[in-house]
């Protein structure tokens, strides 16, 4: 059994708390002793009030301290843990191990997924990249990650940063492409749901083809007439710039690779 204190109450923290809560009904491999957050209200309905504290002085002793707060707050939260020589891990894709105050041992458990409060998620399918400074701690982090997910892999900080940047492209930027698509549809009284099969097929296709092979559309066909038509159609300058730049990038990748 590994006892854990979770620090944080944002999207990732909430999904972790819910998942550990569910899993604790099946086995007692992981016990969440307490959650520390400056904002206990955020966990209303998710966790019993007696499991939550907003005083660092009340943080109990545990095997592992799991910090799931915004990147900029990791340092401060880690230094507020009133213990030393404990394993303290954060969940950030972009922050190094050095964010953890050196009075404790450091590790990372990075779930590669997009979390929104209002959408439930099956943690068992989420790839988790883990890291720690010594073998024993790697084993402990792995034990925790294995309880959450079937896809756990040990990576170093450089790989984690690469994953985080890649995730910005394949998730955040992709979602923004959906947003622009929705705007265009709505401007022409077209329900956005019509795009959903195309969106799903685009995501599905790359299980079989790699993205370079899967590329379709006017850019890769060098179909300048259609490209010009589309640019003439777009009224928003940023959208025009995005159209131009990604078209250029598709064409240069098409050549290069």
As measured in angstroms, the least distance from the Cβ of 40 to its own copies is 22
Q: State the number of binding residues for its own copies (CB under 8 A).
A: 97
Chain Cα centroid distance, residue 66: 15
Q: What angle do CA 106, 113, 56 make, to 5 degrees?
A: 40
**Binding mask 99-128 vs its own copies (x if CB under 8 A, - otherwise)?**
-------------xxxxx-xx-x---xxx-
> Shortest gap between Cβ of 24 and its own copies (angstroms)?
24
235 is an interface residue for its own copies by CB under 8 A:
no
Phi, psi of 160 (to 5 degrees): -65, -40
The reply to whether 66 sits near its own copies by the rule CB under 8 A is no
Q: Which residues contact 81 (CB under 8 A, 6 or more apart)?
A: 7, 56, 59, 65, 88, 101, 104
Q: Does 85 bind its own copies (CB under 8 A)?
A: no
How near is the Cβ of 158 to its own copies at its closest, in Å?
A: 6
Q: Does 31 bind its own copies (CB under 8 A)?
A: no
| Among positions 18, 86, 103, 164, the unique one binding its own copies when judged by CB under 8 A | 164
Residue labelled with tokens 């299980």: 207
- Rounded Cα distance, 35 and 211, in Å: 41
- Near its own copies by CB under 8 A: residue from 20, 167, 222, 255: 167
- Residue 64 lies near its own copies (rule: CB under 8 A): no
What is d(CA 101, CA 140) in angstroms, rounded to the nearest whole number?
19
């Amino acid at each position: 059994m590994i006892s854990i204190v979770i620090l944080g109450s944002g999207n990732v923290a909430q999904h972790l708390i819910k998942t550990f809560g569910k899993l604790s009904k099946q086995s007692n491999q992981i016990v969440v002793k307490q959650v520390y957050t400056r904002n206990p209200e955020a966990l209303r309905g998710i966790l019993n009030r007696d499991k939550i504290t907003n005083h660092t002085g009340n943080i109990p002793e545990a095997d592992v301290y799991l910090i799931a707060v915004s990147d900029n707050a990791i340092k401060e939260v880690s230094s507020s843990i009133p213990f030393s020589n404990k394993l303290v891990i954060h969940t950030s894709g972009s922050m190094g191990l050095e964010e953890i105050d050196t009075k404790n041992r450091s590790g990372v458990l990075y779930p590669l997924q997009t979390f929104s409060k209002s959408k439930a998620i099956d943690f068992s399918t989420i790839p988790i990249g883990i890291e720690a400074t010594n073998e024993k701690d790697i084993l402990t982090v792995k034990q925790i990650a294995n309880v959450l997910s079937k896809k756990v892999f040990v990576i170093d900080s450089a790989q984690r940063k690469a994953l985080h940047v890649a995730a910005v492209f394949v998730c955040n930027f992709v979602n923004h492409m959906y947003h622009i698509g929705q705007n265009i549809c709505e401007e022409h009284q077209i329900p956005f749901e019509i795009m959903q099969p195309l969106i799903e097929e685009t995501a599905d296709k790359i299980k079989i083809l790699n993205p370079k092979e899967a590329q379709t559309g006017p850019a890769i066909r060098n179909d300048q007439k259609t490209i010009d038509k589309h640019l003439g159609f777009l009224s928003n300058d940023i959208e025009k710039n995005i159209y131009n730049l990604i078209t250029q990038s598709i064409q240069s990748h098409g050549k290069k690779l």
